[in-house]
Amino acid sequence: MPLTIADLMTKMPGAFVPEKAAGLDVTLQFKFSGAEPGEWYASIKDGKVDVQKGVHPAPKMTLMADSEDYINLFTGKLDPMQAFMAGKLKLTGDLNLAMKMTQFFKMRA
């Protein structure tokens, strides 16, 4: 059964690597288009991540992507830098945070 955005966002807390996000207090907004449009956000604080469906009033960074491209990014099938350069991944806000984000989450098989 293919992975969906809802599956992926629900699995994010289990894929979180708290030692890679030590000392952070940030919220990341996700805006998906394509087959599974929707908005989600992940708040990282005190070594934990809380993922919610919806729009956060003041995210530190916003990531916009086609839902299928994001699933491929998160599962390692699409390189984040290549996706960004090709315009498949759009980022606003703290771009430094975006570069570190790939270290915060590791999908476990």
Q: Give the percent of the chain with pLDDT over 90.
A: 65
Segment 42-64 mean pLDDT: 96
In this prediction, residue 109 carries a pLDDT of: 41
Torsion angle in degrees (nearest 10) through CA of 78, 83, 88, 89: 100
State pLDDT tens for residues 58-108: 999 999 999 999 989 888 899 888 999 999 999 999 988 887 887 888 764
CATH classification for the domain delimited by 5-102, as one of 2.60.40.420, 3.30.1050.10, 3.30.1330.10, 1.10.287.130:
3.30.1050.10
Tens of pLDDT along 13-30? 998 999 999 899 999 999
**Whole-number mean pLDDT of the chain?**
91
Q: Is 3 helix (H, G, I), strand (E, B) or coil?
A: coil
CA distance 79 to 72: 8
The pTM score is: 0.91
Give the integer Cα–Cα distance in Å for 62 and 93.
6
Residue 69 has a pLDDT of 95
The per-residue pLDDT for 57 is 97
Pick the closest to residue 69 from 54, 86, 89 (CA basis).
89
Q: Residues 6 or more apart from 91 whose CB is under 8 A from it?
A: 61, 62, 63, 64, 84, 98
Q: What is the pLDDT of residue 90?
A: 95
Contacts of 41 (CB under 8 A, 6+ apart): 27, 28, 29, 30, 51, 52, 54, 55, 56, 59
